[in-house]
Each structure stands twice: as C-alpha cells, then as structure tokens.
Structure 1
C-alpha cells in the first residue's frame, strides 16, 4: 500500500471515529499573540498525530498479516523440503553433511540431527567412494554434476542404492562453498535389473539346455535311423534270400536243405519281430508319462534282487549269486521306470556272469552336491573301453548272440529312462574283469519329457 493510500484510509478511519470533518494539515505561521490561531494550530497537530497513529496501527496489522503469510509459506516450504519424495542433503566442500531432510534421514537410517557434521562418504560403499569424491569436486567446479549411482553401506534402512544429483550453492561473492545433493531411491530399479539379468541368464541356460537336448535327440534319431536301416535290414535280407532259395526252380534242394532254409527263414522273421517290438518299446518310452514321487531305492533294489535270484535258482544251473547292496537314498522319480532301470542292469550283470561259479553283483551309491550317482558292478566278462560308445545304442551288441542272447535294446531303454529323470548314464569295464554301469539322478527333480 502506498503512502497516499495509507493516508486516505487513515483520514477516513479518523473521520468515522470523530464523526466530523477532519482538519487538514497545513504549514502555517502562528502569531504568538493570537490565542485562537494557536488553538487551531494545536488541534491540527493533534489531528496529525491521530492520523499517524492510525497509519502505524494499519501498518502494524499489515505487517502481522505479512508475517503470518510468510510463516505459513515457510511451514509449507519446510514440509515440502522434509517430506519430498527424494532425499536432500547440503554438503560443504569436504563432503560433510550440513543439512538433511526427513527423506534423506530415512534413506540413511539416522535422524536428521545426527547426520549433521558427518561425512556422507561414510554411508556409501567403499567401491563408490572415489566416484563420489569426483562427483562432489565436479559439482563445486562446474555448478552441476553428472548423476551418479552409489550403493549404501552399513545403513539401517530398506534403501540399498541411490542416484545422486548435485547443484553448487554460491556465497555472496559468487564462490561455490556448498552443494545441494538429491538422493533418489533406485533400490527397486536395481532389483528389477538384477531380476532381468537373472532371467536372461536363466533363459540362456535353458536355451543352451534345450539346444543340447535337441542335439542329443538329433543324434539319437540318426542312430535310430541307422539301426533301422542297417540292423533291421539284415534279418529282412536273410528272410528274402532264404525265401528265394526255397521257391527258386533252379535250386536243387533236398528235403533236408528245404527244412534248413525254412528254419533260417523262421529265425530271421523272429529276429525281425523282436527288433520291431524293441523299436516300438523304445519309441514309446519317450511318450510315456512318468509319475514322479519320493521313491525308496532300498525297497526297489530289494525286489529286483529277489526276483533275479529266484530266476537264477529256477534255472538250476548250479551257480551261486551273491548280492551286496549298500544303503541307498530316497530319490524323486517314477517307481516303474526305476524298477526297469535296476532290473535291466542287474539282469545284465547276471547274464554276463553266467560263466562264473559265483556271480557277484554289487549295488552302491555315491552322494554328490547336486546328484546321486548309483552303480551296478559285476565280475563278469566285461568289455573293451574302446567300444563303450556302442553300449547304450539301439541294437548295439559287444558280444556274439551265440554266447549271450538279446537284441541290444535293454540298455538303450535304460539310458532313455535315466534321461527322462534328468540324469546321465555311462559304464566302465575291462575284458574278463567285470563291468560297472553308472547312472545319476538329480537331487532336485528335473523330469524331462522327450518328444518324438
């Protein structure tokens, strides 16, 4: 309000109080011997004093209103500063905290008063200390600093990382003496980035695993196609050849020769039927749904060994069988599949120990960090390690069918069921010194569904 406006309002207010015309001030020379003029002069001075008094009261009221508005604005500014969504710090040139808002105190896990005169670098990790010192120096020199992400250390707070942004504060001479630093909580962002990184690594691992699995399936398919085109073709050719000989008009055959051809034809057809049946079982093993649950291998192996011992006893060969079974763990798997695996390996051990007076079969387990490694060991004819790659192939045999029966399907099925459990299979051996078949089962369930 201007002085003229203030004067007018004071005159009006005084006029209302006196209910009369106010006396106007004027510069007059009052004769000393004129009492009436002196009286008028005194009343004029009184009027001026009253007007000035009203003006002072009005100015005082205006000042109170202004002070009240300033107090409200100050409280609003302080509340905005203290409860801002980001932390605010005022640091001196040495990095000591001069002022902190409530958000910063919560981020640093310490009351605002306790933060004063403490080095901010004491709250960040040692690996970020040098970067922060450079950030503070550049902020003071250039007026602003490049945003910096730092990890908080030793802070009693849920905030683990913040992004710093700085602005220099100048004194009256324009010299930067302090800087204001904002602290933006980026903990959730860091966690999200870590989760994305973890998912990417997991995805890459799964892609590699899937690629390896597809590669293994392709190799398996190639081996299977070879087995079908090569091993299965042999009995087909035999059947064709003997059939042609039996029906050829140029063939001079005796009844004994015809009987021999007929016998060979039946054998070839039987072999082909067995191989086709094995092929169907092998292909079906990849589609069969397994029911995974907790399985006590001690019970499974006990049943397998009991059945195998009864079979050997029933054959009346006179040989003895000694089973030695170490304590076995409880695993996660399919009961029927695990029974088939052990039945195949134990049966395989008994078959290739038939020339021994006392067959020795041992079942044991080695526990490792991520898997159980089980083995079935025998004292049979063994095998040459140079042929180990053929052991688990379809229709692959390391010994003559005249000495040991079978078409080479059982171990291939065993390998597939072990793979369905997320494990692996291998074997070691020496000729005439026995063989040991190994397979692993993961501690954490990793069932695999093999598509064909």
Structure 2
C-alpha cells in the first residue's frame, strides 16, 4: 500500500491590516524623507550666496531668496507675484522676455546680460542664468541666478578707456614727431638756400676787383643777414634740443637780462622803455628769456624809423594765466596777416628794409605751446603793435 505524497507546510493567512500598516509606514517614511529633502533644498535656495529667483513664463516672481531680495532692494513678501521687468530698463525687459521664451519653449537653459534699476536710481550690470525648474503643482518654473558684474564692467571700461587714451597719445606723439621732422627739414633746406645765396653774392663781389662801394655795402648787408640767420638757427636748435624743467622764475630779472643783451640796438637812439612789475612764474628761465628777447628785439627793430621809440611791457592776469605783452609805437602790421608772423619763415615786412629770417616768432609760439601757453600779436598799420604770450599758472611741459 502506497503512502500519500508529502504535503507542503501550510502558512497562516496574511493579515490585511498588518500589510496596510506596513505600507503606510513606508509611505510615511518616504513622505518624511521628501519633506526633509524639500526643506533642505529650500534652505539651500534661500541661503544661497547668489541672488536667485523662481519666475513664471510671464516673468512673475514665485519665489526669491535672501540675496535676491537684497539685490532687488525690497522685502521678499513685497516681491512675490511682481513682474521682474518692473525693475528693468526697456532694453533689458526685451532681453528677459526673449530669454524666458527660449527656456520654456526649448526646455533648456540660457545666459545673458541685463541691467537692473536700483531704488537709488543707479544701474547695475548683471549676468543672468536661466534654467527650467519643475515647480510641482505650479508646473514648470524658471530658476534664475543673477550675478552683479558692475564692478567688473567698470574696471573693464576703465582699462579700455586707459588703453584708448594711450593709443590716442601715441598717435598724437607720432604725428608730432612727423611734424617736427618735416619742420626741421624745411628749416634746414630754407636756411641752406639763404646761406648759399648770401655766399654767392659775397663771392661775386670778392671776385670783382672793380666792385663799387655800393656792392661792398650790399656785401656787408648780406653778411649781416647771414649772421642773423645763423643766430636764428641757433635759437631754433636751442628750442629743438632744450631740456626744460619747471622752477620759479622771476620775470623782472629775465627782462633785465634781455635788455642788457639788446642794449646795442638802441645806441644813438631815443628809446624809452617802461614796464609793469612782472610776476614770478613756474617755468624754464631759458625758454622765457628766448621769448622776451624775441619780443623786445622785434619792438626795437620795427621802431627804428621813429624819432622816439617807446616800448611798454604790460601785464594782465586771471585765475589761470599771466598775459605779458610788449607794446611798441613802430610800423605795426595788418591784422589780416597776424598768423603769418608766427609761421616758419613768415615775414610781415620786406627784408630789404628790415633784416630777419622769420624764425623768431615761430620759435616763440612753439616754446609757449610746449608749456601749455599761447602766443599772438595785435597791431595796426603805422600805429604800432603788441606781441603777447600767455603763461599758465600751472604749466604742463609737453
């Protein structure tokens, strides 16, 4: 007789209540975990070191952290539900709308630059980063991070401006060097031609054994002109290679030295010179002596035909500069030619009556401009002239 096969052990039926309780415990634990994660995430959002916001696709603020509220200059509760565009200038409003559109349509992320208007009226430069964020019951939101780059922009602009200024200065200096080179070549060529003409006339007189007394007189005049040209060239070269430095210069002493230098020009003449008390200025004594020497020398030269020559050194002053003029009662000049007097080799009168090279006043103007000053002349035909130079109270050597 066969035995029955072994039967599997029987188990007690599962208790539905116990099973449900276990599932509820698991769900409760999961909920608590999710709440903890959400609380942690919210804490990270609120305490983030960067300014952060959650925006709807319309740009309304659903949430903002501490730094974001501080950047926007309002309390968090006052910002909720407001449009971020309200604190942006027009161009940035357009940029924000475009960025939000791309993020929500493409489910991606974007970066751009906008400006923010602060409550004090300042404009902050911001980098804005946008990324799509699952907002739970609210659907999708845009997580926005704002980074203030105003200081960086200002520093970058300052560096750019400094570079532009340096480039402009280099171009200006290069142009000045080209101008000086062209001027130097012009002076040398013109001087060479004048000296060659003088030497040619001198050789012709010396070669002519029967030369008349008038020819010897012309030779003497030519040699004096040559000497005058050499003196002018000497002053011009002094200007070109002068090493200037600023120090206190008593113009009264400078004028006394100049009058001693030109004393031979009034020997046998009736010359009366008056002068206002002159100031002590910041400048270069050699440069100032060259300027006053040229003015006084010209005044004595162009009053030569007067029975009595009168020279007045006058002074005007304002908050920024001294204006010093040398006035004479000489032959004067037409004001329509006032600029010609200060051009290289510019002459207002025929050289057969008044010697000179036309370099002197050009040197004066360049010296004045080198210290930030000016030089000009005023006059009337046959009624005298006044030649001025303005000297800054705070000169800047160029």
Query: CA–CA distance in 2 between the matches of 1:124 and 1:353?
Result: 74
Query: CA–CA distance in 2 between the matches of 1:203 and 1:170?
Result: 52
**Contact 1:87-1:183 within 8 A present in 2 as well:** yes
Aligned CA distance change for structure 1 residues 288 and 134 (closer, same or farther; 3 Å): same
Structure 2 counterpart of 1:281, from 235, 238, 242: 235
Q: 2:349 matched to which residue of 1? A: 399
**Contact 2:379-2:386 within 8 A present in 1 as well:** yes
Structure 2 counterpart of 1:376, from 300, 325, 335: 325
Structure 2 counterpart of 1:338, from 279, 283, 288: 288
Aligned CA distance change for structure 1 residues 304 and 331 (closer, same or farther; 3 Å): closer
1:191 aligns with 2:154: yes
Query: CA–CA distance in 2 between the matches of 1:156 and 1:68?
Result: 44
Aligned CA distance change for structure 1 residues 272 and 424 (closer, same or farther; 3 Å): same
Query: CA–CA distance in 1 between the matches of 2:91 and 2:318?
Result: 40
Aligned CA distance change for structure 1 residues 125 and 159 (closer, same or farther; 3 Å): closer
**Contact 1:275-1:407 within 8 A present in 2 as well:** yes
TM-score normalised by L of structure 2: 0.73
1:291 aligns with 2:241: no
1:206 aligns with 2:139: no
**Counterpart secondary structure, 2:208:** helix
Aligned CA distance change for structure 1 residues 422 and 404 (closer, same or farther; 3 Å): same
Structure 1 residue 150: deviation in Å?
2.1
Structure 2 counterpart of 1:123, from 66, 69, 87: 87
- Partner deviation per Cα, 1:160-219 (whole Å, 9 max, x = no partner): 21022334556668965x432221222244224422441343144324422441343144
**Contact 1:223-1:393 within 8 A present in 2 as well:** no
- Partner deviation per Cα, 1:321-378 (whole Å, 9 max, x = no partner): 34457x87x865323312332332244334434527462535345759xx74835252
Aligned CA distance change for structure 1 residues 323 and 440 (closer, same or farther; 3 Å): closer
**Contact 2:114-2:128 within 8 A present in 1 as well:** yes
**Counterpart secondary structure, 2:331:** coil
Q: 2:4 matched to which residue of 1? A: none
1:27 aligns with 2:30: no
**Contact 2:255-2:289 within 8 A present in 1 as well:** no
Query: CA–CA distance in 2 between the matches of 1:265 and 1:84?
Result: 96
Q: 1:225 matched to which residue of 2? A: 188
Structure 1 residue 308: deviation in Å?
6.3
Aligned CA distance change for structure 1 residues 84 and 286 (closer, same or farther; 3 Å): farther
Structure 1 residue 286: deviation in Å?
1.5
1:303 aligns with 2:245: no
- Root-mean-square deviation over aligned CA pairs: 4.6
TM-score normalised by L of structure 1: 0.65
Query: CA–CA distance in 2 between the matches of 1:436 and 1:341?
Result: 14
Aligned CA distance change for structure 1 residues 342 and 63 (closer, same or farther; 3 Å): same
Structure 1 residue 393: deviation in Å?
4.5
Q: Which runs of 5+ in 2 are unaligned?
A: 1-8
| Number of equivalent positions | 380
**Contact 2:309-2:330 within 8 A present in 1 as well:** no
Query: CA–CA distance in 2 between the matches of 1:314 and 1:276?
Result: 22
User: Highest CA radius of gyration, 1 or 2?
Assistant: 1
Query: CA–CA distance in 1 between the matches of 2:153 and 2:323?
Result: 43
Q: For 1:10-21, list aligned pairs within 5 A.
A: none
**Contact 1:373-1:438 within 8 A present in 2 as well:** no
Query: CA–CA distance in 1 between the matches of 2:345 and 2:199?
Result: 15
Aligned CA distance change for structure 1 residues 439 and 116 (closer, same or farther; 3 Å): farther
